[in-house]
Structure 1
Amino acid sequence: MRSRSPATVALACGLVLSIVVAPVAAAPVATGHGGAVATISEQASQSALAILNGGGNAIDAAVAAAATLGVTDPFSCGIGGGGFMVIYLARDGRVITIDHRETAPGKAGPTLFQQAGKPLDFETAVASGAAVGVPGTVRGWHEALERYGSMRFAQVLAPAIAVADKGFKVNATFNGLIEQNVAKFRQFTPTSELYLHDGKAIPTGTLLRNPGMARAYREIASGGVKAFYEGPMARAIVDAVNRPPVAKGFNVRAGAMTSADLANYEARIRPALRSTYRGYELYGMPLPSSGGATVAHALNILEGYDLKSMPRARAEHLYIEASRLAFADRNAYLADPEYIDAPLAGLLSKDFAATRRALIPMKTAAPGAVAAGDPYAFQDDPSVPLRPPVRASIKMAPENAHTTHLTVSDKDGNVVAYTFTIESWGGSGIVVPGYGFLLNNELTDFDVTSPHPNIPEAGKRPRSSMAPTIALKDGKPAFSVGSPGGSTIITTVLQTIVNYVDFGMPMDKAVNAPRISQRNAPETSIEPGFAGSTQARALAGFGQRWESHAEEIGAANALVFNADGTVTAVSEGKRHGVGTALVQQRGH
């Protein structure tokens, strides 16, 4: 195994293994034989590798990593939320997906976030029981383990239980996230007790234990999926949603979730969304995630250009404009496929992409938001009933940038790309009393004004942007990639693929390059330090304009499967702290 800085770590579950952690100054990169993992958390990556070394497969390891992230990165993910898992099954040579996105309770309707006919203030909507969707994560983990794993909850949850019991040191990133959410967390008594001290964020360096979350995991480990959806924990969830545990002097909007909503929750096993790009087969999430379709649509537009031969600024200009057009179509047409007939075949048509490509000026940026195209004309069956008129540009509903992504492979060649979330940093802000996990605010991903395909409806899954992606070449895994970031997930995955495939960057450089995110807005989102750079000035020559407020975009993780049979794990070198990339040693 080639490494930057090897270290031997004894894990709580008793396994001793060698890991590779890159120094903070560089992107974490590890290359070797056997299984590999990349996450944003050292403890989560160690949990995954411990499971792999203990004989588990990539699916087992992914659940172990995800459970640990629920402890160490609780403001972006956990069992109070949901997500999307893309799995490559080496023995069958096929890709499947597990949709365990949260659903709206049975009493939800189009006026969920309206008061007196007007939309609620967004922050008011977020910090409420009304924002909480029926959590899908535990059901998703159960389906993954039962169908494709080799271990059960008791084994894969053991590392996370150990971290929750023994605690971990709060770092500057964790402290900073609490600081951002003090106003929200103060509203709820169990949240304040866990994450605040004298009304302020617990300081960096604090050893944080979470016995409530350890209890939740133990109940699931012993009682299985029913312990979450039908037992005392389920009652605690319903109570927290319908009677939020507010601190004295606060009042928040209550939800209307029932025990039946929880007990009847189902994950969906869906065929992966397949597209092609320059010799690669790309597999991503289908609806209700818009991520796979929008990435594919933008790449279809870009495929008509020889980006490699162009000056870099022109190629990036075209990337920005292709993304603008893809988002116009995404915003207008995509939502939960069990509630709408989205024109997906037309949207993914190479011919439709050609019509959109023809609208891009080679030398100038669009002056602002653009109108959606007409994918219905490119459906397999042109006589689609209820064909709506071509929509004008539709403004996106607010979509928070706070999620997490991990990716794992094993020695047998199975691969998992997994993105899951509780939506905003800290979700709804409600910690379930006695159980230590935050509930999501996923229902704010619905659009609050109708008519729109993504309005709230009973049992509906809000449209997502999550885009876990596995790429094959010549029928074998080539790379996987994914990221958090709300709607910027799509552009992060898209830009990383363009960096890697078109610009020929090594994956660590592709992941760590400055991010540019255009989502059909007058101005393009950028990261701190980009404005005024040589790259920015070159793009300004094409008329590209930047948002005045720059902020970190995404926190990606990736795997690359090399021609010599090795695998390279890659994580972030600067965003959301620093990620972790680990590989197995020979012999495991």
Structure 2
Amino acid sequence: MSRSIAILVLLLAPLLAMAQPKPTHPLPPGAAVASAHQLATDAGIEMLRQGGNAFDAAVAVSSVLSVVEPISSGLGGGGFFLLHDARSGQDVFVDARETAPKAATPARYLTADGEFDRDRAENGPWAAGIPGLPAALVHVAGKYGRLPLAKSLAPAIRIAREGFPVYARFANGYMQRREVMERYPGTREVFLRNGRAPKEGDLFRQPELAATLARLASGGHDGFYRGTTAQRLLAGVAAAGGAWTAEELAAYQVKERAPLAFDYDGWRVVTAPPPSSGGVALAEMLQILAPWDLKALPEAERVHLVVEAMRRAFRDRTFYLGDPDFVRIPMRTLMSPDYAAGLRAGINPDKATPSDLLAGKPTPLEDEETTHFSILDAEGNRVSATQTVNLLFGSGLVPSGTGVLLNNEMDDFALKPGTPNAFGVMGFDANAPEPGKRMLSSMTPTIMESPGKVAVLGTPGGSRIITMVLLGVLGYADGLDAAQVAALPRYHHQWEPDVLGTERNALPADVVARLRAMGHDVLVPGEDSAGRRSSDSWGNMNTVEWDRAANRLRAASDPRNPVGKATVAPAR
């Protein structure tokens, strides 16, 4: 460069800097990662320190969770990734939900006498949809990350090869599913050591999964959906009596969809579109509740109104929602404030609405063992991601030579219309299985933004995911911080069965009494005499927040989960 040009550049530099648009808000003072396992959180921070962004960190966190949480998620499952790109200001939803194999017709899930075959729906090869998570890792890394896929997957490969300590939830969950897990030779090869089930404190190594991850790292999409891994998956499914084809495995692709977005109490809420049912239900519930000052109400009255909103949203979920590529969903109606106003008008502020009084047919117009992580980086990029294999350890089937535990997401279809799935949620034609169709999900990764704050949140919990995210959104709207939101007590209603379930000690005794006087059938752990059960604690929320006014980051992993970890890393 000549001296005269150099001088001109120096003289113009201040003017050029002034001409650049200044950000409306300061950049975050660092990055924050919250996930359900400390090794996954550490992997995300590792990618950020190696020059990656939130999307590289998401690939690392997701893949490590796939190694250390086979109870919850894995390469044999799927998930949803809600991404916010700070540079463009755009939000995108990456749909990596599993798809139905061609052979999985409704008739396959009936017994000889026409009854629903729940064992086939939940266990083994017929329970499994075509996995989507590996494709999501490739897609997010290639399109949004800045590090090579092999670098982002390196922590997961290392941990699978070297092992990690078995934790209590892993060991206890295995014992619950042991009978199913040990039906299959490939599963026994992975989980049994000299015939012994994994125990807390054992070092759990997965060399076959490490090799599968390495093939994904080197071959991308084809490294999983074609070639050696695909051949072993197909052989393992066939050996167990299933019927996948090489063509449908190779054809799997993620889909980018426009997220849902709506306003609530000064917040812009961005969340999951169908085939998630969570975003629509979240919008419906919040718009029903919008006119009430919930924070000012006595607790029983607040809970009553929130439950009535839950009841109505879950009723609509049952009849209208499914894969938008296969069914017509009345989105404009379901997302409309006017529709919400009509539903609100039917709420008696002093009395519960029996669910059987809400129409039980259309009107004109994931076990809790899923996992979630939240990330915000120093550039302002955000990731809210929920991934799953559905129930504890999915289908229980590991095709030999892969280390891949397959999902049991086929149970999330309405395999027999009107018959509840494992979570007690019903569905009808909109969510019936068809070749290549994505089953309806409750996963609800969500990002909230107000003039003073950004929050990223989500949780596992089956059908309770939706209501737990609702309570989290309401918590942030009430001014709570990340730790307080993650620790909020939880309650849930899903239209049918007509029961208000709670965690132990979620509601004071006088509030429970008042709700029962209003007509709510409140199920409290340890109190019920009719043989019904409600677990003591629900979910595993992981959330991060950026307080723009104070330019401060907070991250929280659910206190219910002793192996979760939330980390705030200051900018370097």
TM-score normalised by L of structure 1: 0.86
Report the Cα distance in structure 2 between the residues aligned to 1:171 and 1:400, rounded to whole angstroms. 19
Q: For 1:522, which of 495, 498, 501 is the aligned residue?
A: 498
Q: Is the 8 A contact 1:179 1:200 kept in 2?
A: no
Partner of 1:454: 431
Q: Is the 8 A contact 1:119 1:448 kept in 2?
A: no
Q: Is the 8 A contact 2:109 2:120 kept in 1?
A: no
Give secondary structure in 2 for the equivalent of 1:97.
strand
Q: Deviations over 1:20-76 (max 9, x none)?
A: xxxxxxxxxxxx831110001000000000001111000000110111111111121
Partner of 2:133: 137
Q: Which consecutive unaligned segments of at least 5 residues does structure 2 have? A: 1-27, 418-427
Deviates most, 508-517 or 118-127: 118-127
Q: Does the alignment pair 1:35 with 2:31?
A: yes
Deviates most, 360-369 or 51-60: 360-369
Q: Which consecutive unaligned segments of at least 5 residues does structure 1 have? A: 1-31, 245-253, 375-387, 392-398
> 1:373 Cα shift?
9.5
Partner of 1:470: 447
The CA RMSD measured in Å over matched residues stands at: 1.9
Q: Does the alignment pair 1:403 with 2:376?
A: no
Q: Where in structure 2 are the equivalents of 1:568-587 lying within 5 Å?
A: 568-574=554-560, 576-587=561-572
> 1:506 Cα shift?
2.6
Q: Does the alignment pair 1:436 with 2:403?
A: yes
Q: Deviations over 1:356-409 (max 9, x none)?
A: 0111111111233453599xxxxxxxxxxxxx6449xxxxxxx53221000111
Q: Is the 8 A contact 1:35 1:411 kept in 2?
A: yes
Aligned letter for 2:83? I
Report the Cα distance in structure 2 between the residues aligned to 1:534 and 1:512, rounded to whole angstroms. 21
Give secondary structure in 2 for the equivalent of 1:308.
helix
Q: Which has the larger radius of gyration?
A: 2
The percentage of counterpart residues that share the same residue type is 36
> 1:195 Cα shift?
2.0
> 1:200 Cα shift?
5.2
Partner of 1:80: 76
Partner of 2:470: 494
Q: Is the 8 A contact 1:37 1:49 kept in 2?
A: yes
Report the Cα distance in structure 2 between the residues aligned to 1:313 and 1:226, rounded to whole angstroms. 54
> 1:94 Cα shift?
1.5
Q: Is the 8 A contact 1:329 1:373 kept in 2?
A: no
> 1:477 Cα shift?
6.2
Partner of 2:316: 329
Q: Is the 8 A contact 2:459 2:539 kept in 1?
A: yes
Report the Cα distance in structure 2 between the residues aligned to 1:118 and 1:64, rounded to whole angstroms. 45
Q: Where in structure 2 are the equivalents of 1:142-541 lying within 5 Å?
A: 142-197=138-193, 201-244=197-240, 254-372=241-359, 389-390=363-364, 400-450=367-417, 452-474=429-451, 478-502=454-478, 504-520=479-495, 521-530=497-506, 533-541=509-517
Deviates most, 198-207 or 457-466: 198-207
Deviates most, 93-102 or 301-310: 301-310
Partner of 1:385: none
Aligned letter for 2:565? T
**Do the aligned partners of residues 117 and 88 (structure 1) sit closer, same or farther apart at CA in structure 2, a change above 3 Å counting?**
farther
Partner of 1:396: none
Give secondary structure in 2 for the equivalent of 1:36.
strand
Report the Cα distance in structure 2 between the residues aligned to 1:372 and 1:290, rounded to whole angstroms. 19
Report the Cα distance in structure 2 between the residues aligned to 1:461 and 1:545, rounded to whole angstroms. 34
The 4+ residue runs of structure 1 with deviation greater than 6 A are: none
> 1:146 Cα shift?
1.5
Report the Cα distance in structure 2 between the residues aligned to 1:433 and 1:286, rounded to whole angstroms. 35
Q: Deviations over 1:464-515 (max 9, x none)?
A: 01100011224x861111011111110110011112214x333322221221
Aligned letter for 2:569? Q
Aligned letter for 1:482? G
Q: Is the 8 A contact 1:531 1:546 kept in 2?
A: no
Q: Deviations over 1:230-275 (max 9, x none)?
A: 111011111222222xxxxxxxxx3221000111111101111111
Report the Cα distance in structure 2 between the residues aligned to 1:73 and 1:196, rounded to whole angstroms. 16
Give secondary structure in 2 for the equivalent of 1:201.
coil
> 1:530 Cα shift?
4.2
Q: Is the 8 A contact 1:182 1:200 kept in 2?
A: no
Give secondary structure in 2 for the equivalent of 1:345.
helix
Report the Cα distance in structure 1 between the residues aligned to 2:320 and 2:394, rounded to whole angstroms. 26
Partner of 2:540: 555
> 1:295 Cα shift?
0.7
Aligned letter for 2:499? E
Q: Is the 8 A contact 1:373 1:390 kept in 2?
A: no
Structure whose residues are more often helix by fraction: 2
Q: Is the 8 A contact 1:71 1:160 kept in 2?
A: yes
TM-score normalised by L of structure 2: 0.88
Deviates most, 127-136 or 359-368: 359-368
Aligned letter for 1:557? N
Q: Is the 8 A contact 1:34 1:585 kept in 2?
A: yes
Aligned letter for 1:473? S
Q: Is the 8 A contact 1:74 1:438 kept in 2?
A: yes
Aligned letter for 1:515? R
Q: Is the 8 A contact 1:470 1:477 kept in 2?
A: no
The total of aligned residue pairs comes to 524
Give secondary structure in 1 for the equivalent of 2:473.
helix
Report the Cα distance in structure 2 between the residues aligned to 1:370 and 1:145, rounded to whole angstroms. 49
Give secondary structure in 2 for the equivalent of 1:60.
helix
